[in-house]
Chains A and B, each alone.
Chain A
Amino acid sequence: MGDLALNIAASGLNAQQTAMDTISENLTNANTPGYISEAAQLTANPGGDLLGVGDGVRVVGVTQNTDGLLITNAQQSRAVLSQSTSLQQVLQGAESVFPEPGSSGISADLASFWQAWDGISQDPSNPAPRTQVVDLAQNLASDFQQAAEQLGNLQSNAQAQVSSQVAQANTMLRQVASLNTQIAAVNGSGSPANALIDQRNQLMNQLASSIGAVGIPEPDGTINVGVNGVTLVQGSWSDTIKATGGVGSMSLVAQASGVTIASTGGEVAGQLAAINQYLPAYQAQLDATANNLSSTVNGQLAAGFTATGASGSGYPLFQGSGAAGLTVNAAVVSNTQLIAASSTATLPDATNNGGNAQAMAELFNAPTGPDLQYQSLIQGLGSQVQAVNNQVQAQTSVANAAQQNLQAIIGVNTNDQMVQMLTFQQAFQASAKLISTVDTMMQALIQAS
């Protein structure tokens, strides 16, 4: 009897100790990203005893408290959120290019510009108001140039970000493939590869956030990684991705297959949307507004005459094309008498006539003029930023909820672990007590004989 009881108690000590190890592992990794909590699976050993007494307890394995569906959910909601967040960053950058509504934006500078023309009409022969108009025109030109330059910077920053994200993603894809190989090997040898799975889990979280990758588990313990149906990792094989095409058509391509990846999630998707759609649209609208300003002002000037009675059509105020190219005519800057403020060519009237300048001042807020075009650019930009802000807010709660649901399963609950620790401790003490009791019983027997 004593032999069997001691063996059973010894198996108890071993099993409780392994369970304790697992708890220790869980508590230590409570804050490790990607860590999936583990549990020792205990089972009763069938015994050879004729009466049916078992042969103690053994640990059949240490399994992970995992849920593939919840992991996928959390990764996908994180991918969607990352996409909106990266788009939000670029759009908020674009919004800050235009300090509206305010006293330092293009809108306020346009108002001052139109206003200054009445200054000429009040005293056409005085050079001071003419110089003021030229100064304000130069101010507007530099406003447009700066805005164009800043939008250009956002564009090149976003492209640089895509390149760096792609490079990181390629490294991670290789790592996943390599982990796949190791996990398959460990699984093949019959032992669980929990720590490797945790590492791969963390990589998949990052890949989901960066390029919207999704993992599909295979029976051998490996996972296949794909983005929108294009396979990038299969078992130990991994492909690389690269960004091709310029502004307006930039996309990700899987290098081995040459297939274009329609990116639907992750930071890269948000950046590509900004690069291909949003930023070019803002730039185009800004260019159109600059061209509109140029043609509106030059058109009105063409209807007037300079201080020497020459037609204003030969002396445009604005030159160049697009926002970046908008400049003020150097000839007019050096000789403000060339501003066609007069509505008559007759001399000496033309010197002292401000009729055309008056007409120019009335072009503020013109229905097809630059003011309204600029306002619609700002309103459109504002609406898009507002929409993406709202999206980020909604998707944050979705992603947080998914993360919570997942954490409830895979996370380490300290209280729960403590309770288990106490239970295993008591079981360990009970087994130890049993050994000392059997010992006492044996002693009694030996002394009696």
Chain B
Amino acid sequence: MKVRILVSFKDSVLDPQGQTVKNALHTLGYRAIKDVRQGKVFEIDLAGATKADAEKIIPEISDKVLANPIIEKFTWQIIEA
């Protein structure tokens, strides 16, 4: 099973990298872009795991390792059964 985890800054945390990307896009004329938030994507291959296994493991490793809960949040989805 393959799982995709998206880690990004919490809304309350300033994201200077996202801001810089937004400014660059504005410079290129994409004025409609209101905000950009930059994050990290992890694609994880879980050998022989069931959906229930993923539901246990993924939030655990996201909280413990992949994201820093003080500044970041995460979402995840199964991309390959």
Q: Do A and B bind each other?
A: no
Enumerate chain B interface residues (CB-CB to A < 8 A): none
